A and B are shown apart, each in its own frame.
Chain A
């Protein structure tokens, strides 16, 4: 059962524009949400997170929005840079059980 879904396998944006990556989840018990970034031949690296008691968390160019009623979260990157090109995984956590989405490959074109 896929409890965390990233329905867009890929996204391409122009350098300087905003990148918006989306994630949906089904389990209302998830209480913490994270975004990981993965470059080829490397493991995922933590990017940004948000607790279920918040609806927004910002860190530099990265902002995560959480809509609990819709069971939806999104990652905004602005402005996008070519170095942001990677696969982005959404993850959701409850009781040490972390589930990942299938990932979205972001390509930022110069």
Chain B
């Protein structure tokens, strides 16, 4: 399977705990994106990497959120001191650089539930 892979698929945590999600993009894709989707809404942009460089962060990304892509391959998204409002589907997407970069390939997401 050469698609975008996200782990875990589901995460249930208690308020105040830290959680970390992993995304493995399509191997030849330089660009990696994190989105958040809540029920009844479309995906909302969180942050974007080109190789290992984090080029853009949304205002939605509070100080409790941090994302890394240390070697320009897989990425992690960490949420510290989770709140109930963080409950959402966290989607990772990747795309190639240059032609076709606008077509994002999404993973199946990590569904976070904060109790």
Contact = CB atoms under 8 A, between A and B. Distances in A.
Interface of B: 4, 31, 33, 40-45, 48, 55-56, 91, 93, 101-109
A89 B89 CA distance: 15
Size class of A's contact patch? 20 to 34
Nearest to B109: A43
Interface of A: 4, 6, 9, 32, 34, 36, 41-46, 49, 89, 91, 93, 96-103
Given A43-B93, A43-B109, A100 B104 contact: no
Q: Interface of chain A, helix or strand or loop or mixed?
A: strand
A97 B106 contact: no
Given A43-B107, A43-B108, 14 more contacts: A6-B42, A9-B40, A36-B106, A43-B91, A43-B109, A44-B104, A44-B106, A45-B106, A46-B103, A46-B104, A93-B102, A97-B45, A98-B33, A103-B40
Please list the 10 inter-chain residue pairs (A to B) with the smallest Cβ-Cβ separation, ordered nearest first.
A100-B42, A43-B106, A46-B103, A100-B43, A44-B106, A43-B108, A102-B42, A89-B42, A32-B102, A43-B107
